Structure 1
Amino acid sequence: MAARRVADEPAYILHRYDWSESSLILETFTRHYGRVALVAKGAKKPTSNFRPVLLALQPLRLAWVVSGGHGDIHPLRGAEWAGGHVMPTGDALLAGLYLNELLLRLLAREDPHAELFDLYAGVVQVLSNLHGDALEPVLRAFELLLLHAVGLLPALDVESTSLQPLQPEQRYILVAEGGLRSAQASERSSFSGAQWLALQQALADAPGQAAYPALLRASAPVAVPLKAQLRALLQYHCGAPLLRTRQLMIDLQSL
């Protein structure tokens, strides 16, 4: 297979880990190629031009050479900061790293999701200006759209087992193994069929990034009860072990 060069590709770094004493393996999320693994040779050297650039939650333009098959690790040839916003801090930084881990665990290698990339880029920019409770609707809307994009979100306008339409006044709950079902009186994280229908309508009205503003509005009133349900569904599909960023958040809250 002839070598092919990719240049000036919009990208974010999801994760990086040591490959040798001087080099790094990068798990990146790119707009046109999806999740791509790259090796940055010499990136850990003090004199490397890569060293100050290869940071998570920062918009980059990357270049690499494709010399192998699908899913291989490709050599990085160039990296530039694209600018646009400062690094998130505090709980917003943890939220951004959490989104990175979700993408790393749920996206297949080299499976393009251009609309999801654009959405992620917008959310990362928002995170640089948000903290505290304001983060919750932002995260819930992204979780919903991510699950929807990879085909793991059940329809939110019918009960999953019976396919019966939701009744606006009744209460329902989303469970990882069984989808959406009627809630028991003791299940406090449930909410009304009308609110589930509003989420489904926001997803259906416009695909991808265009759905985000409507989904943000629809998820804001139910951000707290929706959190546990979506986290359970995400963990179910991510499998073991527990999401590291989620465990870190739990540990910090217990201090």
Structure 2
Amino acid sequence: MEWSERALVLGVKKHGETSVILEVATRDHGRHVGVVRSGRSKTMQPVLQPGNEVAVTWRARLEEHIGAFVVEPLALRTHLLMCDVRALHGVNWLCGMLRLLPERDPHAHLFDMAAALLANLTDPVAPNLFVRFELALLADLGFGLDLERCAATGATEDLIYVSPKSGRAVSREAGAPWAARLLPLPAFLREGPELAAEVEQIRDALRLTGYFLDRDIFAPRGLKPSEARAAYLATL
């Protein structure tokens, strides 16, 4: 068995005296692991850092085996992460989210979104892209939010709330009697992802996605909310 693909480094674990087990996200083969021989060498250590983009070739005798990677660098971001604490928190946050996906289960659009995020970590639009990624992740894991029309009336205008029970949008008029119990729906989420948003809107959007991530994904798996996510939010 053999395949070659572009990949995003998620992390490594020591394996034997000189090797590591590398975990990557790929577009066509999903989250994948494999042994990198001499992965702890001075040459390979800078390449196998979380957030880097690499070219990998995976080989194994049988598909179910862990296999081995041959790795070549494409885009290294260590220098950026050393100079920008928000970017560092962002990389750790993103890698943690990608690890929520089932192993070897391809999610091509999530890979594309993650690659775009890593390429724009210091851009003002990055927080918006993180919110979009979390919404897409929730959808892929079966917990997508319906933000297109009001759960109560079917209206598509003046949607300013989200029901914490159903994950569906609620209009201003329909939600007025229960406003204190509903989650705010920032207006920018119904606009294009290329637009930067106000900090408070980003905070509201991350509270929204965070609520459903904690309820539907972290808590059922016995996981704690992401510390890197909280640290990134604190830098805004």
> TM-score when scaled to structure 1?
0.72
* Superposed displacement of residue 242, structure 1: 1.0
SS at match of 1:69: coil
The corresponding residue for 2:10 is 14
Corresponding residue of 1:226: 205
- Is residue 5 from structure 1 mapped to residue 2 from structure 2 by the alignment? yes
Alpha-carbon offset, residue 67 of structure 1: 2.4
| Greater mean alpha carbon deviation, residues 231-240 or residues 166-175 | 166-175
Query: Cα gap change, 1:21/1:84 in structure 2, threshold over 3 Å: closer, same or farther?
Result: closer
**Residues 39/117 of structure 1: CA separation in 2 closer, same or farther (3 Å cut):** same
- By how many angstroms is 1:157 displaced? 2.1
Equivalent of 1:80, from 72, 76, 93? 72
Match of residue 26 from structure 2: 30
Spell out, residue by residue over 1:65-105, the C-alpha distance to the aligned partner (whole angstroms, 9 max, x if none). 132334x42212x1111137663431121012101101101
Q: 2:148: which partner in 1? A: 157
Aligned to 1:53, the other structure's residue is in SS state coil
Q: Which secondary structure does the structure 1 equivalent of 2:99 belong to?
A: helix
Q: Give 1:53's aligned residue.
A: 47
Contact persistence 2:150–2:159 (CA under 8 A) = no
Deviation at 1:249, TM superposition (A): 1.8
Aligned partners of 1:189 and 1:226 also within 8 Å: no
Q: Structure 1: give runs of 5+ residues left out of the alignment.
A: 203-213
Which secondary structure state, in structure 1, belongs to the residue aligned with residue 211 of structure 2?
A: helix
Q: Distance in 2 between matches of 1:159 and 1:38?
A: 46
Structure 1 segments of 4+ aligned residues over 4 angstroms from their partners: none
Q: Give the number of aligned pairs.
A: 221
Q: Closer, same or farther in 2 for the Cα pair 1:159/1:69, shift >3 Å?
A: farther
Question: RMSD of aligned C-alpha atoms?
Answer: 3.1
After superposition, residues 34-183 of structure 1 pair within 5 angstroms as 34-46=30-42, 49-70=43-64, 72-76=65-69, 78-83=70-75, 87-88=80-81, 89-105=84-100, 107-127=101-121, 129-130=122-123, 135-159=126-150, 164-166=153-155, 168-169=157-158, 171-175=160-164, 177-180=165-168, 182=170, 183=175
Are the aligned partners of 2:90 and 2:229 in contact in 1 as well (CA < 8 Å)? no
- Identity among equivalent positions (%) equals 21
C-alpha distance in 2, partners of 1:227/1:248?
Answer: 10
Cα distance, 1:17 vs. partner? 2.1
Name which of 223, 230, 241 aligns with 2:223.
Answer: 241
- The change in CA–CA distance for 1:190 and 1:21 in structure 2 (over 3 A counts) is same
